[in-house]
Structure 1
Amino acid sequence: MALASAALLAAPAVSAAEGEQRTTGVEYSDLDLTSEAGRKELDRRIDEAAREVCGVDEIRVGTRLPSREARDCYRDAKRQLDRHVAQLVQQEARGG
């Protein structure tokens, strides 16, 4: 599990700036992914990281709404990370 954790912390996402690729890490070694509380906390961390890397909460002149690019980036990053987390939860549930 430690090897998988180290290798899969960063999730690439295309940011709102066209063509720019950013990555961020999500720490989860302190969480028990077999528990609902651990999975909820990981989901919260993933959400926060995806919002940050995609610029969803950045203030733009004239609107409070995130750009379409930021929303698309966020959706894609969450989808990618959610798939990865599902694999990690399955591995941990099998003992390793």
Structure 2
Amino acid sequence: MKNLVLTAAFALAAATPAVAQDKADAAADANYSRDLVVTYDDLDLDKRSDQRKLKNRLDKAAKIACGYQEIRTGTRAKDSEARTCYREARANALATYDAVMESHGKGG
């Protein structure tokens, strides 16, 4: 089975009272990480249409992992951490895609 693991990470924002400020600082320094598996054994990577499908799957996984499409109460604006996470996860996904395509070109 051909699988790719997409890892998304972003800093957790802490909204706590001033009394627990040192805990909030520790939480703000913590990172959130989520791995999603993207399967592509059903795709023929010699076809451009299937290459696009793989890119779309990776993009969707990046959005899901980062909570990019989650609706926030009171606003339609995207959370800044989610945007940053998505940009980084998307860049990682494209690097992974490039590596897969290079490996595939070499008979991998």
TMscore range, shorter length = 0.7 to 0.9
Q: How far 1:34 moved relative to its partner?
A: 2.4
What root-mean-square deviation, in Å, do the aligned CA atoms of Structure 1 and Structure 2 show? Answer: 1.7
More strand by share: 2
Paired residues for 1:1-96 under 5 Å: 5-6=2-3, 9-15=4-10, 17-18=12-13, 19-96=31-108
**CA deviation string 1:19-43 (max 9, x = no partner):** 2111111111111222211110011
Instruction: Give TM-score, length-normalised by structure 1.
Output: 0.84
Give aligned-pair identity as a percent.
35
- 1:16–1:67 contact (8 Å) kept in structure 2: no
Corresponding residue pairs, total: 91
Q: How far 1:17 moved relative to its partner?
A: 3.9
Match of 1:79, as an amino acid? A
Q: Which residues of structure 1 form unaligned runs of 5+?
A: none
Instruction: Give TM-score, length-normalised by structure 2.
Output: 0.75
Distance in structure 2 (CA, Å) of the matches to 1:80 and 1:69 = 16
Q: Which residues of structure 2 form unaligned runs of 5+?
A: 14-30
